[in-house]
Amino acid sequence: MSCQRLVLLLVVAGTTAAGPLRAQASAAAPVARASRAPVRVCAGGDVAVGTNLDTTWAVGRVAFGRRVAALPDPAALVAPLAPLFAGADVALINVEGAIGDGPAPRKCRRRSRQCYAIRQVPGTEHALRGVAPDAVVVGNLANNHANDAGPAGFDETRRRLEAAGVQVTGADTLATPVPLASGDTLAVLGFGAWRSPSVLDLAAVRRHVSRAAAAWGRVVVTMHIGAEGAAARRTPARPEVFAGERRGNSVAFARAAAEGGASLVIGHGPHVLRGMEWVGGTLVAHSLGNLLTYGPFTLRGPNGRSAVLCTTLAPDGSVVESTLFSTRQEPPGIVSRDPEAAALDDIRTLSALDFPATGVRVAADGGVTRRR
């Protein structure tokens, strides 16, 4: 644990009320001055570069005129993403699966059709660090696959990422402080429905985000939330259930995070793109889709479209500018920049449908602004 996270842990020990937390964090946390420089955050959705827990899906598969490898080189799969994160100070992705090898407890029942067990091969951690060589890379583990190799596998995943230089968020209730080249610090908080802090507890969401905002100033929140698949492209303003699990209310969660002081809220989990909106001064992307998901996954139609969102935050946390970069995947998970920019059309349409009053405007070049 870093000294900064230890200081913040000591600050909040012994109290759970939102007011005292915020006041004590302001008084004792390491940030004693205003941020000095803008920060550019580039974020993508789900990343899973294959799974070594079940490779039978690749048997007999052919793509691009050759047999499909069940476990290709992670660095080669991730390499096409680096240009999309160019210029970022911070790169944020959702690490959709454990990392490691060796025996692991069985997650899925035999012949299950709604269960995937994802554990990526060792070396994946270094490939993910390479997604933005000149930036700080942050990986979210608050999702439904980071624990696919059991608690020990989760711990190994966290150790591997941190040893490779990838900062981890979503592993506990504390914000991850991200030191910047400017000398400032950006806080990142990851939430999912499968571990604490949970997307289902909106009071806790406000409390944790408020604590981070009081301590660090600028806060980026990432959420793994919502139903899945092509039928889940719309963002309902109600709780969602998928595969018998409560998956949270993306609209209510985003508002709670904004009320807590988040500058930017990044969603993933539905495996398809969803609309974007402004909640006051907070920019919310309800789902950025499957950025890179190699293996036995559906990548047809909307499931194969995704986007990278790059946002510049001012020293006070306000959004200066944002741009979307459209990507696409070809089975079994080869990602590239999409020259047709289909993702922009998806986000533009879904934002207008689901957020007629607050939805973003998406320009032809990917620029994201408020509606006039």
Per-residue pLDDT tens for 249-302?
A: 999 999 999 999 999 999 999 999 999 999 999 999 999 999 999 999 999 999
> Which helix (DSSP H) or strand (DSSP E) does residue 6 occupy?
helix 3-12
pLDDT band at 33 (very low <50, low <70, confident <90, very high): low
What is the average per-residue pLDDT within 90-113? Answer: 91
Cβ-Cβ contacts under 8 Å for 124 (sequence gap 6 or more): 49, 74, 99, 160
pLDDT over 90 for what percent of the chain?
85
The pLDDT, as a whole number, for residue 361 is 98
The pLDDT, as a whole number, for residue 343 is 98
The pLDDT, as a whole number, for residue 34 is 75
The pLDDT, as a whole number, for residue 21 is 30
Short-list 197, 213, 368, CA closest to 288: 368
pLDDT surpasses 60 at 31: no
pLDDT digits (tens, 9 = 90+) for 198-222: 999 999 999 999 999 999 999 999 9
Query: 259 — phi, psi (to 5°)?
Result: -65, -30
pLDDT band at 32 (very low <50, low <70, confident <90, very high): very low
pLDDT digits (tens, 9 = 90+) for 337-370: 999 999 999 999 999 999 999 999 999 999 999 9
Question: How far is Cα of residue 81 from the mean position of the Cα atoms in its chain?
Answer: 15
Q: What is 98-137 written as a DSSP string?
A: EE--S-----SPTT-SS----EEPTTHHHHHHTTSTTSEE
The pLDDT, as a whole number, for residue 102 is 95
**How long is the chain?**
372
pLDDT digits (tens, 9 = 90+) for 39-69: 999 999 999 999 999 999 999 999 988 999 9
Q: What is 248-259 written as a DSSP string?
A: E-HHHHHHHHHH
Cβ-Cβ contacts under 8 Å for 347 (sequence gap 6 or more): 273, 274, 275, 276, 307, 324, 360, 362
What whole-number distance in Å separates Cα of residue 252 and Cα of residue 300? Answer: 30
Q: Is the CB of residue 143 less than 8 Å from the CB of residue 195?
A: no
Pick 21 or 366 by higher pLDDT. 366
Query: 247 — phi, psi (to 5°)?
Result: -110, 10
What residue type is assigned to position 316 of the chain? D
pLDDT surpasses 70 at 5: no
CATH of domain 44-369: 3.60.21
Give the number of other CB atoms < 10 A from CB of residue 223: 31
CA geometry: angle at 149 spanning 143 and 150, to 5°? 85
The pLDDT, as a whole number, for residue 110 is 78
Query: 203 — phi, psi (to 5°)?
Result: -65, -40
Give the number of other CB atoms < 10 A from CB of residue 200: 18
Q: Which residues of 13-33 are buried (b: 16+ CB within 10 A; e: fewer)?
A: eeeeebeebbebbeeebebee
The pLDDT, as a whole number, for residue 256 is 98
Query: 303 — phi, psi (to 5°)?
Result: -70, -20
pLDDT surpasses 50 at 175: yes
The pLDDT, as a whole number, for residue 6 is 43
pLDDT surpasses 60 at 2: no
What is the average per-residue pLDDT within 103-131? Answer: 91
What tokens does 26 get?
A: 């302001």
pLDDT surpasses 60 at 28: no
What is the average per-residue pLDDT within 307-313? Answer: 98
pLDDT surpasses 60 at 126: yes
Short-list 326, 330, 334, CA closest to 306: 326
**3-class state of residue 80 by DSSP:** helix
Question: How far is Cα of residue 257 from the mean position of the Cα atoms in its chain?
Answer: 15
What whole-number distance in Å separates Cα of residue 307 and Cα of residue 338? Answer: 9
The pLDDT, as a whole number, for residue 10 is 37
